[in-house]
């Protein structure tokens, strides 16, 4: 993660979830991430192909020169990138993965805006992980940002992270840990990989996903 907004939001989400695969939507306190709100968004997913902005920050909307609430998330990407995003959203909502995506925004004048996007799973009790908390923050802020709308976006890099070292459905622990958020000062031990069953390579759409963590 190269962007400070991305790192800060990930840390907040990771501390909030505690020992759970993901925190509940109701756990999010906007006041705790006030400085990030302009670059953050929440997606609502009824399927990997039907994902819409439920909320979007003012700086993000300004970069697009339009209100994003209610708009389709996959709009403005080419076919190959849409397929990759569908696969990533499936991994986020079904396997509690975290997606870090390098994005390039394009204006009608062929101006380019490099950005970093983060997708984090959120749980809605009774519905499952049908919400995604995310952010998309520019790596630079050119003078024309907010004057010329981003009409298209393309993927420049992508990375899928398993916060608990492996997809949620492959975790070997069967005992449910107490739902208590971790404190910043708390040192949480993770199971040794030597005591875990081997994790096979998994195909998610056209992406090959290997077990691994943040390292």
Give tens-digit pLDDT for 101-154: 999 999 999 999 999 999 999 999 988 888 999 999 999 999 999 999 999 999
Identify the residue with better confidence: 168 or 163.
Answer: 163
User: Nearest-CA neighbor of 135 among 108, 115, 105, 155?
Assistant: 115
Identify the residue with better confidence: 152 or 184.
Answer: 152
The DSSP secondary-structure symbol of 183 reads: P
Instruction: Express as a percent the part of the chain with pLDDT over 90.
Output: 69
Q: Distance (Å, rounded) from C-alpha 93 to C-alpha 67?
A: 25
On the question of pLDDT at 8 being above 60, the answer is yes
Label residues 105-143 b or e (16+ Cβ within 10 Å = b).
bbbeeeeebebbbbbbbbbeeeeebbbbbbbbbbeeeee
User: Nearest-CA neighbor of 137 among 77, 69, 57?
Assistant: 57
Label residues 55-66 b or e (16+ Cβ within 10 Å = b).
bbbebbbebbee
Q: Return the CATH fold of 4-209.
A: Beta-Lactamase (3.30.450)
Question: Where exactly are the structural domains of the chain?
Answer: 4-209
């Amino acid at each position: 993660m190269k962007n400070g907004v991305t790192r800060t939001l990930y840390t907040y989400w990771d501390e909030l979830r505690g020992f759970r695969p993901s925190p509940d939507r109701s756990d999010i306190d906007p006041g705790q991430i006030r400085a990030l709100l302009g670059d953050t968004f929440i997606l609502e997913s009824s399927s990997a192909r039907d994902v819409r902005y439920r909320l979007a920050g003012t700086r993000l909307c300004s970069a697009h020169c339009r209100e994003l609430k209610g708009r389709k998330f996959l709009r403005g990407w080419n076919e190959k990138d849409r397929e990759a995003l569908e696969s990533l959203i499936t991994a986020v909502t079904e396997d509690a993965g975290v997606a870090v995506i390098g994005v390039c925004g394009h204006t009608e004048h062929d101006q380019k805006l490099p950005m970093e996007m983060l997708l984090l799973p959120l749980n809605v009790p009774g519905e499952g992980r049908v919400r995604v908390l995310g952010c998309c923050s520019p790596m630079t802020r050119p003078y024309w940002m907010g004057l010329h709308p981003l009409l298209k976006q393309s993927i420049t890099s992508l990375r899928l992270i398993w916060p608990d070292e492996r997809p949620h459905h492959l975790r070997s622990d069967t005992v449910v840990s107490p739902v208590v958020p971790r404190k910043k000062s708390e040192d949480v031990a993770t199971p040794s990989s030597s005591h875990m069953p081997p994790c096979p390579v998994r195909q998610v759409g056209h992406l090959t996903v290997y077990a691994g963590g943040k390292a």
